[in-house]
C-alpha cells in the first residue's frame, strides 16, 4: 500500500479561517470510502473551520504504518486498530523486529481521542463462485486484506478459528492494496473476500453492481461458542451484528446467508490515536470538535450511524482489558464535558 500512498493537503475553509488555525498537524489514514478516512477527513475539515489546526493528510496508509508513525512521533494523528497497540506492546506480529522492550515503550506513547468501528469482517463473494459458506473455504482463493496489514492478520485468525484452515495450506490467501480491493473482487481473481466492511459502503456496493453476491453470516452455534467468543472479545475485536433491515441497504443483489436474517460476525475496533505528548488543550479541542459535529458526519455516509463514533462502552469500543491504550486526558475532558461517561479503565 505504501507504493500507492498519496499525500493530500486538505485546504478546507475560508482563507481567514486557515490563517487563524493555531497548529499545523499531520495525519495518516486509508483511502476514501471507509470510516477510517471519513473520520480523519471530517476532523481536518472541522478543525480548520474552528481555527484549531490545519491537518495535512497522507492517504493510502495501513493501520500498521499509521500506528507506528504516531507512536514514534512522526505524525500527529493516525488510524489505530486496537489489535496493533496490543501486538506492539509485546513486540510480536508486524512489530516482531523491534522486540518486546522497544514495542512496550512505543505502545506507551499512544493515546485515543475517540473510538469507532473499523468495519465488520464480512465474508462475501459472487454467487457464480459457488461457495457454500464458512465451511466451504478449503482450497478457495480468499482476499483477506493488504500486505502487512492488521486486517489481514484478523481475517486469517477468524478463518482459522471458524474452519481450522491456515493461509497457504488450507486456502489460498490473496492480498491487495486497499485502493485495488474492489477491482480484485470484481475481476474474478478470488472466490470470496473477507474484509472489514461498512454496511453499506463503497466497496461492497461497487462489487454488487457487477452481480449477485452472497454475504455469509457466522452460524449462530459457532458465533456463541467459547472458541469464537474468545476471538470476538480479543484485543481489537468485538461481537458485531446487523439486522436484516440494515443488511437490506446493500440492495437486491445482496443475499444474506443466515439462519434468522441477522448478520453475525467479528467487528474490528480502534480509534484515532495521537501521541501522549500532544498538548492537553489541543487534544481537548480536537475531540470536542468531533463530538459537536457528529450530526454532520452522520450525514456524510449512510453507514456512519453504525460505526459507533460516540460509543464509549468498553466492550463495544474495545477499550480496557488487554488493550494497553487509554484516552488522552484532553479527550477525557471533552467527552465528560459533553455528558458522556468515560470508563475508569480507559482513562
Q: What pLDDT was estimated at residue 301?
A: 93
pLDDT at 35: 92
User: 119-267: same fold as 2-117+270-346?
Assistant: yes
Parts of the chain with a pLDDT under 50:
1-20
CA dist., res. 69 & res. 77, Å (int): 9
- Write down the pLDDT at residue 149: 75
Q: What is the pLDDT of residues 92-122, one digit of tens each?
A: 989 999 999 999 999 999 999 999 999 999 9
Cell matching residue 310: 460516540
Grid cell digits, residue 100:
518486546
Three-state helix/strand/coil letters over the chain? CHHHCCEEECCCCCHHHHHHCCEEEEEECCCCCCHHHHHHHHHHHHHHHCCCEEEEEECCCCHHHHHHHHHCCCCCEEEEECHHHHHHHHCCHHHHHHHHHHHHHHHCCEEEEEEEEEEEEEEEEEHHHCCCCHHHCCCCEEEEECCCCHHHHHHHHHHHHHHCCCECCCEEEEECCHHHHHHHHHCCCCCEEEEEECCCCHHHHHHHCCCCEEEECCCHHHHCCHHHHHHHCCCCEEEEEECHHHHHHHCCCEEEECCCCCEEEEEEEEEEEEECCCCHHHHHHHHHHHHHCHHHHHCCCCCHHHCCCCCCCHHHHCCCCCCCCEECHHHHHHHHHCCCCCCHHHC
Q: Which CATH number fits domain 2-117+270-346: 2.60.40.10, 1.10.10.10, 3.10.150.10, 3.40.190.10?
A: 3.40.190.10
- Provide the pLDDT for residue 179: 85
Domain range list for the chain: 2-117+270-346, 119-267
Q: Say what the pLDDT of residue 120 is.
A: 93
Give per-residue pLDDT as tens, 1-57: 433 343 444 433 433 344 445 899 999 999 888 899 999 999 999 999 999 999 999
pLDDT (0 to 100) of residue 202: 87
**What pLDDT was estimated at residue 86?**
96
The hierarchical CATH code for the domain 119-267 is: 3.40.190.10
Please state, for a pLDDT cut of 90, what percent of the chain lies above it.
Answer: 83
Amino acid at each position: 500500500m505504501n507504493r500507492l500512498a498519496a499525500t493530500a493537503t486538505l485546504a478546507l475553509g475560508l482563507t481567514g479561517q486557515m490563517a487563524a488555525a493555531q497548529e499545523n498537524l499531520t495525519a495518516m489514514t486509508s483511502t476514501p470510502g471507509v470510516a477510517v478516512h471519513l473520520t480523519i477527513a471530517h476532523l481536518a475539515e472541522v478543525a480548520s473551520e474552528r481555527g484549531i489546526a490545519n491537518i495535512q493528510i497522507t492517504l493510502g496508509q495501513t493501520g500498521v504504518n499509521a500506528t507506528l508513525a504516531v507512536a514514534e512521533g512522526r505524525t500527529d494523528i493516525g488510524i489505530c486498530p486496537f489489535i496493533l497497540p496490543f501486538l506492539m506492546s509485546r513486540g510480536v506480529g508486524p512489530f516482531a523486529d523491534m522486540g518486546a522492550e522497544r514495542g512496550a515503550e512505543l505502545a506507551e506513547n499512544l493515546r485515543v481521542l475517540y473510538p469507532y468501528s473499523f468495519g465488520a469482517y464480512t465474508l462475501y463473494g459472487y454467487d457464480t463462485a459457488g461457495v457454500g459458506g464458512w465451511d466451504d473455504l478449503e482450497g478457495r482463493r480468499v482476499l483477506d486484506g493488504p500486505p502487512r496489514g492488521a486486517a489481514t492478520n484478523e481475517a486469517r485468525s477468524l478463518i482459522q478459528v471458524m474452519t481450522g484452515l491456515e493461509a497457504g495450506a488450507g486456502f489460498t490467501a490473496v492480498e491487495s492494496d486497499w485502493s485495488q480491493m474492489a477491482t480484485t473482487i470484481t475481476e474474478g481473481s478470488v472466490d470470496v473476500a473477507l474484509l472489514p466492511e461498512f454496511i453499506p459502503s463503497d466497496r461492497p456496493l461497487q462489487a454488487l453492481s457487477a452481480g449477485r453476491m452472497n454475504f455469509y453470516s457466522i452460524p449462530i452455534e459457532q458465533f456463541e461458542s467459547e472458541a469464537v467468543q474468545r476471538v470476538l472479545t480479543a484485543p481489537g475485536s468485538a461481537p458485531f451484528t446487523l439486522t436484516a433491515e440494515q443488511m437490506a441497504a446493500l440492495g437486491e443483489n445482496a443475499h444474506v446467508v443466515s439462519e434468522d436474517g441477522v448478520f453475525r460476525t467479528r467487528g474490528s475496533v480502534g480509534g484515532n490515536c495521537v501521541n501522549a505528548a500532544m498538548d492537553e488543550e489541543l487534544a481537548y479541542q480536537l475531540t470536542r470538535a468531533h463530538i459537536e459535529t457528529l450530526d454532520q458526519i452522520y450525514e456524510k455516509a449512510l453507514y456512519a450511524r453504525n460505526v459507533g463514533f460516540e460509543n464509549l462502552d468498553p466492550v463495544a469500543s474495545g477499550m480496557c482489558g488487554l488493550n494497553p491504550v487509554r484516552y488522552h486526558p484532553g479527550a477525557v475532558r471533552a467527552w465528560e464535558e459533553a455528558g458522556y461517561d468515560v470508563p475508569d479503565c480507559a482513562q
